[in-house]
Amino acid sequence: MTPAIEARSLVKVFGATRAVDGLDLHVPRGSVYGLLGPNGAGKTTTIRMLATLLNLDGGSARVLGHDVVREAAAVRSRVSLTGQFASIDEDLTGRENLVLVARLLGLGWRGARERTDELLAAFDLSEAAGRRVRTFSGGMKRRMDIAASLVVTPELLFLDEPTTGLDPRSRSQVWDIVRAIAAQGATVLLTTQYLDEADRLADRLAVIDHGRVIAEGRSRELKRSVGGSTLHIRIQDPEERPRAEAVLRRVLGPEVQNGADEDHLSAIVPDDARVAAALSELAGAGVRLAEFSMGQPTLDEVFFALTGRPAEDQSRTPDGEAEEEK
């Protein structure tokens, strides 16, 4: 079977910004695939090109076997897009929004209402369905938005940062939805800024930096290539940080970073068995710990390991200045 997405050397240029700059992507069918990257890396632009909303300035892409430029209509009738910002009509009620999309997909009035009720129930929105969407919480809007993309089950669903800005409960609801979609055999391409989210949901992922894929693989492999998990320590006396840093470097290797707080250090752990040794060596060196924890590497750490630079905001305005916080 043809892959869900096959993209070669995609390029998109906005004025002086090369938002996507030679991006290759291969997404097998039936998988959840993650695009991971900091602000401005080109995730949204990539998704919009693959969903036929943007022209390509270079390269080519086939989605579900159809060329995104020459067979845009065929692509459109097989995929759904849930954009980064909720694309629902805030003046309409939840129910009206779904009926609208259902009608535009070709369902009759009755079919549209029935489908809407099913979706509302499944997405836990029945109670609020008669209210205008303007009054919905962020998590409810997100679920509405995803529901609107599932009125007709797509073969491929694009989800652009589905959980950014959601509280933990809403986030885990969205995760359940993504898993349920994947369990039905659809392909999901999702973007995220959180490594743990990609790790939980995605079978494979690509790390994007300045419009290019800089690493690709199963998330576990990728994490291992970064060095596996991370040891975080807080020390009681910040004066002891250089000493602690030296010990960690000796026991765990070179990937040691001083945190933003002066009592914090983090080190990528090449082998989990060495953590105990590191802790006892710290004690032996007289470094008193306030707290220690093991964590999955964050996007920052992956980025640092892959590129040697922190994952700063890469958004550029036309004059080449970093964009302000959204």
Q: For binding to Mg ion (CB under 5 A), which residues are involved?
A: 43-44, 84
Question: In the complex, what is the shortest distance from the CB of residue 138 to other proteins, in angstroms, rounded to a whole number?
Answer: 15
Question: What DSSP string runs through 173-208?
Answer: HHHHHHHHHHHTT-EEEEEES-HHHHHHH-SEEEEE
Residue 44 or residue 170: which is nearer to Mg ion going by CB?
Answer: 44
Site membership for ligand ATP, residue 223 (CB under 6 A):
no
Q: How many CB atoms lie within 10 A of CB 325?
A: 7
Distance, CA of 234 to CA of 292 (rounded, Å): 6
Site membership for ligand ATP, residue 316 (CB under 6 A):
yes
Q: Which long-range contacts (CB under 8 A, 24 or more apart) does 150-154 make?
A: 150/80, 150/119, 150/181, 151/98, 151/101, 151/102, 151/105, 151/107, 151/115, 151/116, 151/119, 152/80, 152/105, 153/184, 153/186, 154/78, 154/79, 154/80, 154/186
Site membership for ligand ATP, residue 162 (CB under 6 A):
no
Site membership for other proteins, residue 92 (CB under 8 A):
yes
Structure tokens at 246: 């030296």
Site membership for other proteins, residue 113 (CB under 8 A):
no
User: Measured between alpha carbons, how far is residue 14 from residues 55, 84, 243 in Å?
Assistant: 11, 19, 48
Site membership for ligand ATP, residue 175 (CB under 6 A):
no
Q: How many CB atoms lie within 10 A of CB 206?
A: 27
3-state secondary structure of 315: coil
Question: In the complex, what is the shortest distance from the CB of residue 29 to other proteins, in angstroms, rounded to a whole number?
Answer: 16
Residue 41 interface partner, choices other proteins, Mg ion, ligand ATP, none, CB cut-off 5-8 Å depending on type: ligand ATP
Q: Which of residues 217-276 bind other proteins (CB under 8 A)?
A: none
Q: What is the DSSP letter of 321?
A: P
Position among 34, 37, 94, 139 found at the interface with ligand ATP (CB under 6 A):
37
Contact string 84-103 vs ligand ATP (x = CB under 6 A): x-------------------
Residue 71 or residue 196: which is nearer to ligand ATP going by CB?
Answer: 196
Site membership for other proteins, residue 107 (CB under 8 A):
yes
Contact string 174-203 vs other proteins (x = CB under 8 A): --xx--xx-xx-x-----------------
Residues that bind ligand ATP (CB under 6 A): 14, 17, 19, 37, 39-45, 84, 193, 315-316, 323
